[in-house]
Structures are given as C-alpha cells and as structure tokens.
Chain A
C-alpha cells in the first residue's frame, strides 16, 4: 500500500504540481515551437514521454553502478552522450520495425536529442535519490505532464489564431504572454500530492 501511495504521489507531482514545462520551465523550446496545432503537439509529447522513460531506464543504472558517488560531476556530460545515442537508436529501430510510428513521430524524434526536459528528468531522478522503479514512474509522469501542458497550450494557440490581437503583440509576444497565463494557472495545483 505504501508503494502505491508513493507512486501515486510521484505521478500527481510530475503531472500537476511539478509540471516539467509550467513549473520547472524545462523543455520550453518544443513548448513554444511545436505547439501550433494539437496534432503535432500530441506527436511531439508522445515522443518525449517515450524517450524520457527509456533514457531514465538507461541513465539510472549508469549513474548508480558506474558513476557512483565520486564521479557525480560527470552526470551531465555522460547523460547528454547517452541520451543522444539512445534517441538515434530508437529512430533506427522504429524505422526498421515499426514504420507507422516512425512516420507519425517523424522529425520530432531527432529534435528530442538535445531536449533539456529529457536531460532534466534524468538528472532530477538521480539527484533526488529515487530508486529505479520510482525513477521510471517519475519520468513517465514528467512526460505526461509535458503532454498535458503541450495539448492545453496548443488549444490556446489554436484559439489565438483567430483572435483579434493588437499588431505589436502578434506572433511571439502574445504566445509568451499566453504561456505565462497557462503557467500561472498551474500554480493552483501547488500542494496537491505533497
């Protein structure tokens, strides 16, 4: 029972309270870049979630068994290296065995290679001393939180397309303001799930 509570709390925190994009401000680049349409936002977030979980599954053992405590400072460098390689590998495997998914994710997979949200979640997992299973759930929660933020924001942006926006706010300025408002609304979740 204790474990279930712990995992529920991780999921709640990852999706709502500590949302990757809206309260940790990681992965802002795809958040602003790929959120013009709900459909592309969905593809991108699914790809990010997938990569986050796989990256955590690989980086956690590397950190625990190879880097240990005395080589902690190598985390960033090694993780970037490993994540980049994993993303490439996932791309090759998908292209070979599951072409439909490869086509659906398309250009989003290579974009994730250097996504700071992916690096961020792997680093946060090991720095918070989470165990392996919790890390995986945390990564999944962060990915789902990213998905939620992307879809919500894509919806907002689709509405913005037809809105009558003052000339000087058109484009990026209004997008940033909208992002700030969406982010603000997520403050309301603070406190849920501990």
Chain B
C-alpha cells in the first residue's frame, strides 16, 4: 500500500503535465505555412547566409511571405532556384557564379617585404604595413578565405589559395574574408579573367610582381567587342559583352589575363 501513494502522485502529476502540454499545443499552435515547409525542403540547409537571411529557415520564411526573390540561394544554385520557382509559380533567371581570386602572385613570384611572425591570418598580417608581401594589393596567402569556405572549395597550394570551381557554389563567404578584397563572384564558365588587382602605375607594379597588370591597354585595343576596359590602372572585363575569344589573353605580355 505504501508504494501506491507516490506512484499515484507521480502518475497524476505526469498526466496533468502531459495533458496540459497536449491541450496547449492544440489551442496555441502557430500555423506554419505549408509553402514555407516545401520551400525549406528545396534549400540545401548549409545555413551559409549568402542569401542575406539568418539561415535557410529565415530565407524560406521570407520567400513564403513574398519578401525575397527565390534565386538568392548560392549553394543551391540553379537547381534550387528552379525548384523554388516551380513552387511559387514564377519565372526567374539563374546565372550561377563562382569565386575568383584576382592575384597571380605566390611565394615564388612575389617578393617578400619583411619576415612576419604574428598571428597566421591575412587580416592580422594586413594590419602590419599591409602585409609581408611586396605587392600591397596582392594575396598574403595565410588562408583567411580557405578558413572561411564552408564547402571546402578552396585549397592552399604553394602558399596561395586555389578555388576548385566544381565545388565552389558562389556563396561569397570568402569575398568578405579577404582583407585585400581580391575575391569577387564572376559568372561560372568564363575562360578569361584578369588575374591581378594592383591599381598602381605600371612602373611600380613591375617592380613587385612578374605576373601583373601594368595597365598598358593592349587588351583593350585587342578586344573586338569592347568587353575589356582599363579602369584605375587595371583591366576590367564586362562579362555581358565577352565572347570568350581569348584574344586578350594572347595579347597580354605580362600574362596577367588567364
């Protein structure tokens, strides 16, 4: 008999708590949008934040409410965007992007300014006289972008990050990580890129790096479509006009276009 009372008490408390919760969840349930759940399933779930929302949940909520475009998901790319467009019944244009590091320098080509022995981070090294690399626009090579990539698309080779474009989904995390702002998102499948970011005058650029753009303008004159222009002492390609003919590549004597 003695054991019965505690058993009954615990059972009753358990029942009250259970029933209370059941009732509460029934009467106070917040209806979740069916559309939102469907949208959430189409997203990759990397929670990278490239869309500008707090993660895949936040983004799906914003799409369901009509506050966001369905083509903002970089990791999901065209596949996710087309699925989302199907759910929403809208047409969207998809152009996948990849990250590109506009610097051709590495440990062998670029000279060193001083011996750096601080925190092994580009952001930290950049604070000390703009980094140990002679070219003050060039890649420092301590791999801040490598650490930032959530997909393992960046590997460090010979002290320089290399982006594997098959893995890269264009989320743009590395773009923000680079203290030199060398990384940009460019359309996937392009074969012509300016591999330098040095905005100094030609003479100064030649001193610090062998594969640099000296703003000679040869590419600009070679291009038949007017797709390449020299702006601020650096060649810039307009990918909407570029036909991938590759003539600028051959014309460049500094091998700065790859």
- A interface with B by C-beta (< 8 Å): 62, 66-67, 71, 74, 77-78, 81-82, 84-85, 88-89, 92-93, 95-97, 99, 162, 164
Q: Which residues of B in the span 16-60 have a Cβ within 8 Å of any Cβ on A?
A: 17-18, 20-21, 24-25, 28-30
B21 with A89: CB separation less than 8 A = yes
B28 with A85: CB separation less than 8 A = no
Nearest A residue (CB) for B5: A71
B14 with A96: CB separation less than 8 A = no
Residue B119 interfacial (CB < 8 Å): yes
Q: Which of B17, B28, B119 meets A82, CB within 8 Å?
A: B17
A67 with B9: CB separation less than 8 A = yes
Ordered by A's residue number, 15 sampled pairs between the chains whose C-beta atoms are within 8 Å are A62-B13, A66-B13, A71-B9, A74-B9, A78-B10, A82-B17, A84-B17, A85-B18, A88-B21, A89-B24, A92-B24, A92-B25, A95-B30, A96-B29, A96-B30
User: A67 — which chain B residues lie within 8 A by C-beta?
Assistant: 9
- Please, how many angstroms separate the alpha-carbon atoms of A71 and B24 in the complex? 29
A89 with B20: CB separation less than 8 A = yes
Q: Which residues of B in the span 171-204 have a Cβ within 8 Å of any Cβ on A?
A: none
User: A93 — which chain B residues lie within 8 A by C-beta?
Assistant: 24, 28
Nearest B residue (CB) for A102: B30
- Please, how many angstroms separate the alpha-carbon atoms of A85 and B40 in the complex? 29
- B interface with A by C-beta (< 8 Å): 5-6, 9-10, 13-14, 17-18, 20-21, 24-25, 28-30, 119
Nearest B residue (CB) for A163: B119
User: B5 — which chain A residues lie within 8 A by C-beta?
Assistant: 71
Q: Which of A66, A81, A95, A97 meets B17, CB within 8 Å?
A: A81
- Please, how many angstroms separate the alpha-carbon atoms of A97 and B14 in the complex? 26
Nearest A residue (CB) for B16: A85
B17 with A85: CB separation less than 8 A = yes
Q: Which of B6, B9, B20 meets A85, CB within 8 Å?
A: B20
Number of A-B residue pairs, CB cutoff 8 Å, is: 45
A71 with B25: CB separation less than 8 A = no
Q: Which of A74, A85, A99 meets B10, CB within 8 Å?
A: A74
Contacts A82-B17, A85-B20, A89-B20 given: A74-B28 contact, CB under 8 Å?
no
- Please, how many angstroms separate the alpha-carbon atoms of A46 and B10 in the complex? 30
A78 with B13: CB separation less than 8 A = yes
User: B17 — which chain A residues lie within 8 A by C-beta?
Assistant: 81-82, 84-85
19 further A-B contacts with Cβ under 8 Å, apart from A67-B9, A71-B9, A89-B24, are A71-B5, A71-B6, A74-B6, A74-B10, A78-B9, A81-B13, A81-B14, A81-B17, A82-B13, A85-B18, A85-B20, A89-B20, A89-B21, A92-B24, A92-B25, A92-B28, A92-B29, A93-B24, A96-B29
A101, chain B: closest CB distance, angstroms = 14
A166, chain B: closest CB distance, angstroms = 14
- Please, how many angstroms separate the alpha-carbon atoms of A89 and B30 in the complex? 13
User: B6 — which chain A residues lie within 8 A by C-beta?
Assistant: 71, 74
A96 with B10: CB separation less than 8 A = no
Contacts A71-B6, A85-B20, A88-B21 given: A96-B13 contact, CB under 8 Å?
no
Nearest B residue (CB) for A85: B17
Residue from the set A66, A92, A99 with the largest chain B CB neighbour count within 10 Å: A92
